[in-house]
Amino acid sequence: MIVEAKNLQKIYKNNRGIHDANFTIRKGRIVALAGGNGAGKSTLIRLLTKQEKPTNGELIWHQDDFVRYMPDDVDFPSTLTAQEVLGLLGSLKKVGKGEQDEILKKVGLFEVKKQKVSSFSKGMRQRLNLAQSLIGGDGLIIMDEPTNGLDPYWIAQLKDMMAQERNRGATVLFSTHMLAFAEQLADDVIILHEGRILAAGEVQQLLRDHHCGHLEELWLQKIDL
C-alpha cells in the first residue's frame, strides 16, 4: 500500500468538494479515479499532490514514493522549445539527455523538439505534458484527465505507456469521466459522485459483487440508490 485515506474531507463554501472519503492505493497498480464533472476528482488529486490540505480526516502515506504529476493543463513558457522544457526538468531530476530524447520519441515530439511550444497544437502540448510526467523515477504517477486534447491514436499510445509504467513497478493514478476507458485500463477504480465515493476496489471484483457487466452500469446503479 502507498497511501490510505481515512474519513478524508475537503469542503468548500458551496459544500462541494470531498466528503468522508475512505480508500487505499496499492503499489504497482493502475488506479482510475472516475466520475462526471463536479464529482470531486480534481479536488482529490489536489489533496494527493499536497496542493491543498484536508478540511478533516487524513491521508496516511505508507511509502515515501517519488510522485510525478501530470495536471489537466500546463501553461508551458511559449518561448521555450520542447527540448528546453524537458532539459530543465531533466537537470532538476538528474535525467540525462539520452533519456530525455527517448521520452520525446515516445510521445511523438522528437522531430519537433527544437520548435517553440507556442507553435504547438493543443494535442502536442498535452503530449509534452505527458512527457514531463514520465521523466525521472518510478514511484507514483498522478494524471489529471490525461486524455484531454488527445486523438484516438494518442489515447491508445497513452494506454500502452501507462501499462508500461505499471510493468516497470510504478503506480499510476489517473482521473477520467470516461468509465469505459477506466474499465479497459485500470486494475482498481474509485468512483466519485458529488464528492462522495460510490464504490472503490478492484474493477472486476466490483463488477462481480454488484452483478454488473460494465462500470457504466455500476455507476448508474449507485447514483439511483
Q: Please give the Cα distance from 77 to 80 (Å, whole number).
A: 6
Same domain, 56 and 86: no
Q: How far is CA 23 from CA 13, 139, 200, 209, in A?
A: 24, 19, 7, 17
Contacts 24+ apart (CB under 8 A), 89-95: 89/132, 89/135, 89/136, 90/135, 90/136, 93/135, 93/136, 93/137, 94/136, 95/135, 95/136
- Looking at the fold, whether 146 and 214 belong to one and the same domain comes out as yes
- Predicted pLDDT of residue 128: 97
Cell 519537433 sits on residue? 112
Is 166 among the domain residues? no
Q: Tell whether 115 and 15 lie within a shared domain.
A: no
pLDDT attached to residue 63: 73
80 and 50 in one domain?
no
10-residue stretch averages of pLDDT, the chain, 225 residues long: 94 91 95 94 95 94 82 91 94 90 96 96 95 86 95 96 93 95 96 95 96 94 79
CB neighbourhood size of 80 (10 A):
15
Q: What angle do CA 126, 131, 136 make, to 5 degrees?
A: 150
Structural domain boundaries, residue 96: 75-137
Claim to verify: residue 126 and residue 17 sit in the same structural domain = no
The predicted model scores a pTM of 0.92
187 to 37, 47, 125, 158: CA distances (angstroms) = 22, 22, 28, 16
Phi and psi at 63, nearest 5°, equal: -135, 140
Which residues, other chains included, contact 195 with Cβ-Cβ below 8 Å and sequence gap of 6+?
16, 17, 18, 19, 39, 40, 43
Q: Indicate whether 84 belongs to any domain.
A: yes
Task: Verify that 149 and 222 share a domain, yes or no.
Answer: yes
Determine the pLDDT at residue 136: 79
- The answer for residues whose C-beta is within 8 angstroms of residue 213's C-beta and 6 or more apart is 207
* Domain shared by 31 and 112, yes or no: no
- Sign of the CA dihedral running 58, 62, 66, 70: negative
Number of domains making up the chain: 2
Give the pLDDT confidence score for residue 65 in this predicted structure. 63
